[in-house]
Amino acid sequence: MNNAPKTLGLIAGEGKMPIYIARKATERGYTVFVLGLKGNARESDYKGCCRGFKFIRLGQLGTGIQYFKENGATTAVMAGRVQHTSIFTNMMPDKRGIQFLASLKSMQTKHILSRLIEECAKDGITFTNSALFLEDFFPGKGILSKRHPTEDEQKTIDYGFSIAKQIATLDIGLTCVVSQQAVIAVEGMEGTDKCIARAGELYKKSAEKDTAVAVVKAARPQQDMRYDLPVVGKGTLKSVHKAGFSILAFEAGKTLVIDLEEVIALADKLNICLVAV
């Protein structure tokens, strides 16, 4: 029987997902060391659920690898939101980070993160599922809310899902907003909430106010579970409601729903149709 201590390195961005991972890992006997991305993670959120916490900025690759190695964290996970635009506005690379950035062939999220994983592997650090210990956070197919979609709304959801899968394949984003077999907005670097807000502004200018509008999120085909999973939470629902929409659909089994029971309760309170496709 292997009684070796279990150590986990965690690269943490915004949101509850990395906090939950740290808590559940600690509950299961792991010693957790957190690299919190400056401007995204908060050290106070990890009190009691990690052995050590260190702030780093985007691009400080050598610093991060050294921290994990010093603490024996050969298994790591990355979780939490980081705005893609940060690569243009909040980058402070160290020497190894500069070399890494110079080696990149594109600034697409998928390429950057897959290359990051390869670079860390050179130092014996292996990345695992970014939803580690959160298996119960992935709802299966079905209607989760009390409100069910009408026939017209279901057609809109189906169309939106086909578009979301296409933009996810192209690594543009994971979310789209659609109506009447037309695309109102697709997610780019601005992120899901700003995409929904932009769609809301465009929709307000339309004379058609009784048409079905759906916000739809999908995973990439062959989604790499080690990074950038589609995530839905209460904040997403609030953005949908604020924009004037009442349908949120996401890919079943591949979308992480933070605080699932609370999300369903909020959907019912806001009369939003919540569907796992």
6-127 matches 136-276 in fold: no
Q: Would the pLDDT of 177 be above 90? A: yes
Dihedral sign (CA 66, 67, 68, 69)? positive
Q: Would the pLDDT of 96 be above 50? A: yes
Section 250-262 average pLDDT:
94
Using CA atoms, how far residue 185 sits from 175, 199, 203, 241, in Å, is 9, 5, 10, 16
- CATH code given to domain 136-276: 3.40.140.80
User: What rounded mean pLDDT belongs to the chain?
Assistant: 92
Residue 90: the pLDDT is: 66
Residue 110: the pLDDT is: 82
Q: Give the model confidence (pLDDT) of 191-245 as tens digits.
A: 999 999 999 999 886 645 678 999 999 999 888 888 878 999 999 999 999 999 9
**Residues 6 or more apart whose Cβ sits within 8 Å of residue 150:** 212
d(CA 133, CA 49): 14
pTM: 0.83
**Residues 6 or more apart whose Cβ sits within 8 Å of residue 44:** none
Residue 211: the pLDDT is: 85
Percent of the chain with pLDDT over 90: 77
β-bridge mates for residue 61, sequence order: none
CA 214 to chain centre: 20
Domain ranges of the chain: 6-127, 136-276
d(CA 178, CA 170): 18
Q: Give the model confidence (pLDDT) of 7-20 as tens digits.
A: 999 999 999 999 99
Q: Would the pLDDT of 84 be above 80? A: no
Burial (CB count <10 Å: 0-12, 13-18, 19+), residue 103: exposed
Q: Give the model confidence (pLDDT) of 29-54 as tens digits.
A: 999 999 999 989 999 999 999 999 99
**Residues 6 or more apart whose Cβ sits within 8 Å of residue 140:** 252, 253, 276
Instruction: Name the DSSP class of 91.
Output: B
Residue 89: the pLDDT is: 62
- CATH code given to domain 6-127: 3.40.50.20
Among the ranges given (36-40, 147-151, 246-250), the one the predictor scored with the smallest mean pLDDT: 36-40
For the chain, report the end-to-end CA distance as a whole number of angstroms.
Answer: 42
Section 171-181 average pLDDT:
94
Q: What is the secondary structure of 126-151 as a DSSP string?
A: EE--TTTT-GGGS--SEE-SSSPPPH
Q: In which band, very low, low, confident or very high, does the pLDDT at 1 lie, cut at 50, 70 and 90?
A: very low
Q: Would the pLDDT of 149 be above 80? A: yes
3-state secondary structure of 276: strand
